[in-house]
Structure 1
């Protein structure tokens, strides 16, 4: 974000006024659009509120903006006194689209992280740079042969990557498949988006875990789906709940993250796993299995996916993001040929397929001798960070939070024992220099917190939990 230059001879308020005038002229703030409040803009720019008041006064004086009590400050529809032109009402378009925006908490978290790079980040669900195989990937980039073709690739995905995944999934996940049954995507979210748009229709009923990462994805509501909850307890979802939802609502699909579930970190009990697959088979009910965390099992023995035992009734989703590098934007789906063909066709309409460059890198990494040592190092470092979070919570908040210790994954799911307001706690934590995801984002009641310990550096974790503890005590009074 632009900020005024304090070394410039031009007054700060004039710099702010000039920047706003420029952004208005570029159409970033169309006529009639609401500008940030004086207090909020002052916080964003790191200046006194009086400086913003002067800047707004300057713009009002030349007719660019107008302020009304109770309505805030808006860009004038009569800019510079000229006759207004017929400008599109962009607010109406923005509010009228069928694809819903992110939930407010996630937008607030993104905004806070963009504004303050010093926040200790327990919110972002990705690996920190010290956990990613950056050196290995850079070495592969230096060693790789030149790419001769940069045109559109197969919309199903780069063939060498799909072939590498056949070997990788067979060795590490117990999934026997072929390259023609694999679709390359930009990650788990694109896989879910293609499924909701191409295999389901508005009004269809689907079952998702409660709490669930899926609750944080407006794409389900945007697709017009009816969502029904499958409560997650200490053993995962209950198969009898799937049967009950099918009888009552005729659900058409079940979305599960059975191994180190996001956000709870729970592992589906083996007996429930077998019963769940029997119920799905009996009802002819497809399961969408999102499996991003299994290879992070701290004991080095990853639990097998549902797909390994039910190859024909499970759509399997995987991703590079949680085990290697989110920036490569490489994920995959293993599905029947007819499903892969349908989704590939949709992908071609969207973007003609992913860039061949990251797909080539991912293929080389999967086939390299680096993958196994990297996974072992990743597990060791995640376990170390998990233990730091747990020890800090026990030292700081022993009587105020409860949690189950996860055996894999990136997240620790906490229940705050006293009643607390999620919004107040998040804002107080941000003021204290730490950020997390409130549990209500995932469909839970107020008073739950997800700490992602893969993102902060190890030497930030104890300090981050201390800042959170101070915020919680402040909110509790």
Structure 2
């Protein structure tokens, strides 16, 4: 975001006025659109409110904006007395359409991080730069030369990458598959989007975990699906709850994250996995298994996916590079029956003609390289260290104010705040003090839960971040 240049000889208010006039002329703020309040804009730009008042006064004197009591400040519809012309009502378009915006808390978190990058970030579910294989990727990039035509690739995904994924899935996840049963996507969310748009219809009922990352994704509601919850305990979901939902609501599909579940960190019990597969085969129900965290298992062999014991083809399996290498590669995959892969590949081709071959080639080389296994080991050790730093800080700074179960893998720590506290007030107070997290209600839980992600914040930030959170919590509790 643009900010004033304090080393410039031009007054700050004039710089703000010039920037707003430029953005208005570019159509970013069309005639009649509402501008930020003086207080909000001052906060965003890190200036005094009086400076913004002067900037707005300058623009009003030029006839560019107009202010009315109770209505805020808007871009003038009749700038300099020009002949009135009709402008599209972009505000109405922006709230229209069938694809819903992110939930308010997630929009607030994104806005806060955008305006203040110095916030200690316990919210973003991605790896810190030091956890990503940056040097290894740079080494692979330096040896890449494209001598052939860089056109649209196979809509199923880059063939060498799908061949590499066959070997990877067999070696690391005990999944037997073929390249024709793999669709390369831009990540787990695109896989979920394609499933909800192409394999389900508006009005269909589906089961998701409670709490669940799926609950935070408006794509389910945008597709017109009815969501029914499967409570998660320390051993994951209970298969019998699926039967009850099927009898009552005729659910069409079950979405699960069985290994180091987001946000709770729970691992689905092996005995429950066997019962689950028996149940869904009896009912003819498909399972969508999202498996982003398994290879981050800290002290044990990673738990096998449900797909590895699926002998009847009941499971659609989703994975990606985001949580084990780099989210910026934008490479994920979906393992499914051939007919499903064909259907989703056709839909994805209509969307974007397939992914760029460049990151796909890089991902294929990384999987086949001598870098991959050592990177996974370093990632596990670093995540374990950061988890322990977080737990130590929470025990020291929060004591009995929070309760949690120590996760054995993944990136998240799920905490119950005692006593219960208002999510919105706690988030705003934490942002004000310089730290950010995700309120538990984003994932369908009652208020009073928080999710701390320890993969994004630097090691030296973890203790100060928890100190800031503790101060915010005590301030809200009074």
TM-score tier by shorter-chain length is over 0.9
Which residue matches 1:423? 424
The equivalent residue for 1:338 is 339
TM-score of the pair, normalised by structure 1: 0.99
Report what 2:374 is aligned to: 373
1:308-354 superposed Cα distances (whole Å, 9 cap, x missing partner):
11150100000000000110000000000000000000011000000
Under a length normalisation based on structure 2, what TM-score does the superposition of the two structures give?
0.99
Counterpart CA distance in 1 for 2:321 and 2:94 is: 32
Query: Is residue 300–residue 379 contact of structure 1 (8 Å, CA) maintained in 2?
Result: no
Q: Give matches, 1:8-407, under 5 Å.
A: 8-311=8-311, 312-407=313-408
State the shift of 1:147 in Å. 4.6
Q: How many Å separate the matches in 2 of 1:471 and 1:313?
A: 46
Shift of 1:148: 2.2
Contact 1:207 1:242 in 2 (8 A): yes
Residues of 1 paired with 2:28 and 2:141: CA distance?
39
Count of aligned pairs: 477
- Give per-residue Cα distances to partners, 1:456-476, cap 9 Å, x unaligned: 111111111111111111111
Deviation, 1:411, is 0.2
- Where structure 1 has 5 or more consecutive residues not aligned to the other structure, the ranges are none
CA distance in 1 between partners of 2:41 and 2:147 (Å): 47
Cα deviation, 1:386-432, whole Å, max 9, x if unaligned, reads 00000110001111000000000000000001121111111111111
Moved over 3 A (4+): 144-147
Q: C-alpha separation between the residues in 1 aligned to 2:288 and 2:179?
A: 19
Task: Give the Cα separation in 2 of the matches to 1:275 and 1:426.
Answer: 40
**CA distance in structure 1 between the partners assigned to 2:147 and 2:141 by the alignment:** 11
Q: Distance in 1 between matches of 2:66 and 2:17?
A: 14
Q: CA deviation at 1:145?
A: 4.2
Shift of 1:181: 0.3
Distance 2:209 2:217 in 1: 13
C-alpha separation in 1, matches of 2:84 and 2:293 = 55
Offset, 1:133: 0.8
Match of 1:473 in 2: 474
Residue 143 of structure 1 deviates from its aligned partner by: 2.6
Q: Using the TM superposition, give the Cα deviation of residue 300 of structure 1 relative to its aligned residue in structure 2, in angstroms.
A: 4.2
Q: What secondary structure is seen at the aligned counterpart in 1 of 2:77? A: coil
Structure 2 residue ranges without an equivalent (≥5): none
RMSD: 0.9
